[in-house]
Amino acid sequence: MSDFWQRLISNPHDFLPIGEWVNNFIHFLLDNNAGAFDAFGRAVDLFAESIEVALLSLPPWLIMGFFAALGVWRLGWRFAGFVLAAFALIFGTGFWPQTVATLALTLSATLISLLVGIPTGIWCARSKRVNTLVRPVLDFMQTMPAFVYLIPAAMFFGLGRVPGILATVVFAVPPAVRLTSLGIRQVNKEQVEAGHAFGCTPTQLLFKVQLPIALPAIMAGVNQTIMMALSMVIIASMVGAGGLGNDVLSSIQRLDVGLGFESGLAVVLLAIILDRLTESFGRGPAARQGQAQ
Amino acid sequence: MQSGKIVVENLYKVFGDKPQDAMRLLKSGESKEAVFAKTGQVVGVNNVSFSVDEGEIFVLMGLSGSGKSSLIRLINRLMDPTDGRILLDGQDITRMSQSELVALRRRDMSMVFQSFALMPHRSVLDNAAFGLEIAGMGRKEREARAMKVLEQVGLAPFARKSPHELSGGMQQRVGLVRALAVNPSLMLMDEAFSALDPLKRAEMQDILLDLQRGQSRTIFFVSHDLEEALRIGTRIAIMEGGRLVQVGTPQEIIENPADDYVRDFFKSVDTSRYLQAKDLIDPGAAGLVVNGHPANHAELDKHSWVACVSKDHKLLGLVGREMLRSEGCVPSERCVPISPVAPASCLPDVLQRLLGQTEPLPVTDGEGRYLGVITATSVLTKLSAHRLQSAVH
């Protein structure tokens, strides 16, 4: 008996090898579902690659012009000027192709995240049970150090774009789920009652009352998802996702502060542009009105 | 079976996870408080029965927590009742399926909310047309119909604005238009004007009464404001602690409050405004001469005025006592003709008439039959008695 206690105290990990269980589970999945993972990975790769190829085939001035036009529409001339200056700086330092690649990765990861996140958020808002089940999962996804997802992702899908995007999706989905669910729950009780009182079916209630009123919150979730995706896409270069992350990574490996600063600056500028633009879509009609006056 | 637009029979609503336990206790005669103590279930509506006639404005009154908001939501099944029946045009809505309910709400009823509950992402016009859109009406037709109702309440120039650009009173007019646009036979109004300031509230009440004129629409109106209830209500129901305490016309409730709770409602309200000519008659103020001959010779001396009526009690006019004493009987041409007031005339009108003449004011019913006279003294006496009564309680 005392022998048992001694072993427990000197080497407790022998008795609770969670890490080993996870390893076994991952290997089990790998051994038994390789075909499914391959097919899924190919689908994701096709989706992401087509976005990247499309963006890279566009001339730089068209992309710059598109963002500048969005800037004029949503935030005014001053922001459009900033967009052009920022892109000119990125272009001038020679990081344009990598920036577009990062933009493409962020875009595909965000789209997948929203495709998963918004319906899950709606489901959470409708069912208390689903909500209690999903919440701890979201906490786990958000607080687990982001690097950790890269390992199994790389094991399942090999190196390259796919594990990077999927690890990013895991990291970027929670705000989309949370804010969609929150937005729908925050719809005034009497507004929901008004929907029912005038004879809405559940589908009509969702699309004509709940989602439109929750739109500012959902857009805030989209904004958060994009920002999380952008930050994770950089880290995902460790599994070969490509883009600006590669430059950041090599600056670390070579202790090249200058390269690190240049590539980091491109990330920051891209982040600011994406943040301000998507944030402007998240404002309610009242806020937009106030700005117009 | 009772008839009416809405008939509510033995309706109960229990909030909590074990409503059937609470129902057993309630039906065995336990009070709401005892049920809460024993089972932890909250009784919202406790054995309520009443009926609302077609075309009337039925005002449900009560303090907050009295169950009136629950009751209105039971009528369009935003809440499901625990027990009892609600008949709308003879159909039991408590047994309807979800799809029947959706059809019923689109066709027969609509609702106006305390917080307006407009959709911020829709224009005023789109808000007004909301019910029609939900029911599947095409854009052109529903916008034309909504526009027509917006014009009725003077909001047509604001059709393209957002609700938040409008004042509170205007927003609630949009809420009213949204409910009216579907042309329901029953409109539910939950504290619809309570969030507005007193001036706007009175204005909205006028708009509602205007719109209701000549309509057979039934309005079920929940309020905690007695002045409002007295102003717009055809009948008033008063709720306390989930129970219905009294149902009646405004007059019936003012004259004959069922208990102290009902009387308490009147404390802050100057109910003398709702006194009518028939309440102010002084039976001892004038003698009576029927067909030229005094009804009671001994009493004649006590009065300075005498009312002359024909054989079938139609008022001919008033006459001074002196005249009567000298002649013993009165030929009808000697009477002073004075235009009478109707029994339902209100106090301000009566006062205005009394101030303009020295003779007492006779009251006659619809066929011209004499009911009595009002004098300045009788009005003052009634008023002071009324004040005293309010002060005592």
DSSP letter string over B374-391?
Answer: E-HHHHHHHHHHHHHHHH
Q: Is A292 on the interface with B (CB under 8 A)?
A: no
- Residue A114 near residue A228 (C-beta atoms within 8 A): no
Residue B329 has pLDDT above 70, yes or no: no
pLDDT of residue B389: 63
Q: Is A209 on the interface with B (CB under 8 A)?
A: yes
Q: Do A193 and B78 touch (CB under 8 A)?
A: yes
CA distance B280 to B350: 9
Q: What is the mean pLDDT of residues B5-29?
A: 90
Q: What is the mean pLDDT of residues A277-292?
A: 59
Mean pLDDT, chain B, rounded, equals: 85
C-alpha distances in Å from residue B208, one per residue of B121, B179, B205, B219: 26, 12, 5, 10
Question: To the nearest whole angstrom, how far is the Cα of A292 from the nearest Cα of chain B?
Answer: 13
Q: Which residue of B has its CA nearest to A287?
A: B164
Q: Encoding tokens for residue B2? A: 């009772």
- Residue A283 near residue B158 (C-beta atoms within 8 A): no
Percent of chain A with pLDDT over 70: 96
Q: What is the mean pLDDT of residues A25-29?
A: 83
Phi/psi for B194 (5° steps) reads -70, -25
Residues of A in contact with B105 (CB under 8 A): 196-199
pLDDT of residue A287: 42
Chains A, B: CB pairs < 8 Å: 72
Question: To the nearest whole angstrom, how far is the Cα of B3 from the nearest Cα of chain A?
Answer: 24
Max avg pLDDT among A149-158, A277-286, B212-221: B212-221
Nearest to A213 among B110, B121, B130 (CB): B121
Q: Is B100 on the interface with A (CB under 8 A)?
A: no
Q: Which residue of B has its CA nearest to A210?
A: B119
Nearest to B134 among A190, A204, A212 (CB): A204
Could you tell me if residue B116 is left (phi over 0), alpha (psi between -120 and 50 degrees) or otherwise beta? Answer: left
What ipTM does this complex have?
0.76
Tokens 């958020």 label which residue? A121
pLDDT of residue A10: 81
pLDDT of residue A38: 84
Residues of B in contact with A204 (CB under 8 A): 134
Higher pLDDT, B1 or B116: B116
> Half-sphere exposure of B200 toward its Cβ, with a 13 Å CA cutoff?
13
pLDDT of residue A293: 31
Residue B78 has pLDDT above 50, yes or no: yes
Q: Is B246 on the interface with A (CB under 8 A)?
A: no
Question: To the nearest whole angstrom, how far is the Cα of B175 from the nearest Cα of chain A?
Answer: 10
pLDDT of residue B213: 85
What confidence tens digit (pLDDT) does each residue in B123-136 have? Answer: 999 999 999 999 99
CA distance B57 to B220: 6
User: Can you give the pTM of this predicted structure?
Assistant: 0.77
Max avg pLDDT among A9-23, A108-122, A278-292, B355-369: A108-122
pLDDT of residue B324: 66
Q: State the pLDDT confidence band at B391, using cuts at 50, 70 and 90.
A: low
CA distance A89 to B223: 65
CA distance B302 to B312: 25
pLDDT of residue A286: 40
CA distance B68 to B265: 15
- How many other β-carbons are positioned within 10 Å of the β-carbon of residue A287? 12
Q: Do B115 and A188 touch (CB under 8 A)?
A: yes
Q: Among the residues of A2-146, which ranges form H helices?
A: 2-10, 18-57, 60-75, 77-92, 96-126, 128-143
pLDDT of residue B325: 58
Consecutive H or E run containing B220: strand B218-223
B281's CB contacts (< 8 A; 6+ apart) are B363, B371, B372, B373, B374, B378
Residue B332 has pLDDT above 70, yes or no: no
Nearest to A201 among B102, B133, B164 (CB): B102
Consecutive H or E run containing B130: helix B130-134
Q: Is A77 on the interface with B (CB under 8 A)?
A: no
Percent of chain B with pLDDT over 90: 39
Q: Do B162 and A213 touch (CB under 8 A)?
A: no
- How many other β-carbons are positioned within 10 Å of the β-carbon of residue B41? 22
A12's CB contacts (< 8 A; 6+ apart) are none
CA distance B250 to B235: 6
* Least confidently predicted of A131-140, B134-143, B263-272, B344-353: B263-272
Q: Do B106 and A198 touch (CB under 8 A)?
A: yes
